[in-house]
Chains A and B, each alone.
Chain A
């Protein structure tokens, strides 16, 4: 079947090597896997940063608030690529040289780690604002009700405010997930073999730029579509019936 498809496509001038060349297919699938991994893990990191930052931004003391503001402003107002280069070449060079001289596999993990870190920190700066907004939106009366039940302030934050706020921030979080999937393509710059990098390799080997470009667009749109469908399903599941307080 693959043979006939191969012949059919080639005879009509479409050189889609990822379908029949095992090496190209492997490259493409690895790229897809790495893109998905980068997107999910960086969103996870950004959520942790976002919750922590939003909590610090509501602090009684000025210092943690200013620290979070500094972080948010710096990382929202500089290009992701420059952040990546700064961390990878600037800080990475400082940290260790022997780490860079490992085998190719270690090198790849190394690059992946840096890309993940920077993508997470970058997305975290956006997440802080989103989560802070929904923390503030938790009604005063709900917090007072929790206080009157005798819960400690830490418990109130963890068990009352945060679950409500996270629910409320789901639209913003799903937006940031979309941004995270799109941002993974920048990891191309430090040779993480994700989707864009893989497509680049494939089209420079086979000179099939138009075909791979279409494949690339379709793959990204499918990923983004899946993300927004999934997030909408989660949103629907987590809705509290009859709770319109937020």
Chain B
């Protein structure tokens, strides 16, 4: 009885545990990297103390990145919905300009479009008689959203076209007009194929927000660079830049992973 109790859990957990402990080259590599990083940290405790002190400011910087990303992806989605719906319109007067706009912004380098917005939008706008200053980060968000709207339009167009024509005909025979069909029948069904691509677009836009640092906006990279410049210690450079690199990776990777999983899951069911 006693032996049974002690051996049972061991036996059931040991294959799992063993598989975990089984050395594969990847695990050895990971262990080596972790050991090296650990010993580096032990040797440079002051660097870690410094980084921890910087953390709140860096976090605020990254919030700027996320803010720009969210604002521009929302704008891009709205614009993309409009452009995508226009592209599939039977009227060339609607479809042609939408196609040209999409082509233009999909092919322009992100950085050039951001410069375009930065320099050519007035620094203040007049609305209802009062002047509003446009903060720089809004301009960057607008620039990013223009480029992203080209991609969003393609996602919407692809999603709409993935719905079989029979759906359109069936809806039309129920007496729905074109706009009703699009809004109530086609788009809700297309949402499923559009969501993974849209999440990918969000990742791309968030990666694009890093460009804001080139225009003097205090995002994560600028915050880090200002701190590094103030310290001017060369041994800080590598961990500092690595930190920014890893922050972006660990924010974006889960989203793109989820997008891939959803894509696989939903395409299997169709």
Contact = CB atoms under 8 A, between A and B. Distances in A.
Interface of A: 62-63, 66-67, 73-74, 76-83, 85-86, 89-91, 93-94, 97, 178, 182-186, 188-189, 196, 200, 203, 209-210, 213, 216-217, 220-221, 224
A93 B112 contact: no
A191 to B, nearest CB: 11
A122 to B, nearest CB: 11
29 contacts: A63-B24, A63-B25, A66-B26, A77-B252, A78-B248, A79-B209, A79-B248, A80-B210, A81-B211, A81-B214, A82-B210, A82-B221, A82-B244, A82-B245, A86-B242, A90-B240, A90-B242, A93-B237, A182-B109, A185-B112, A186-B111, A196-B111, A196-B115, A213-B112, A213-B116, A213-B120, A217-B112, A220-B107, A224-B107
Given A85-B221, A91-B238, A216 B112 contact: yes
Contacts of A63: 24-26
Contacts of B112: 185, 196, 213, 216-217, 220
A225 to B, nearest CB: 9
A76 B206 CA distance: 12
Contacts of A182: 107-110
Contacts of B116: 213, 217
B119 interface: yes
Contacts of A196: 109, 111-112, 115
B80 interface: no
Contacts of A93: 234, 237-238
B221 A67 contact: no
Given A81-B211, A85-B244, A220 B221 contact: no
A77 B245 contact: no
Contacts of B242: 86, 90
A67 B26 contact: yes
Given A82-B221, A196-B115, 9 more contacts: A62-B25, A63-B25, A78-B207, A81-B213, A86-B244, A189-B214, A196-B111, A209-B119, A217-B116
Given A93-B237, A94-B238, A189-B214, A210 B120 contact: yes
A217 B252 CA distance: 30
A97 B108 CA distance: 36
A66 B242 CA distance: 21
Interface of B: 24-26, 104, 107-112, 115-116, 119-120, 203, 207-211, 213-214, 221, 234, 237-238, 240-242, 244-245, 248-249, 252-253, 256
A213 B113 CA distance: 9
Contacts of B120: 209-210, 213
Nearest to A186: B111
B108 to A, nearest CB: 6
Contacts of B208: 79
A76 B256 contact: yes
A79 B207 contact: yes
A240 B81 CA distance: 40
B234 A221 contact: no
A83 B245 contact: yes
A240 to B, nearest CB: 29
A205 to B, nearest CB: 14
A57 B206 CA distance: 28
B197 to A, nearest CB: 15
Contacts of A221: 104, 107-108
B57 to A, nearest CB: 18
A74 B256 CA distance: 11
A196 B107 CA distance: 15
B256 to A, nearest CB: 6
Given A81-B210, A82-B210, A188 B111 contact: yes
A83 B242 CA distance: 9
A189 B26 CA distance: 34
A29 B252 CA distance: 37
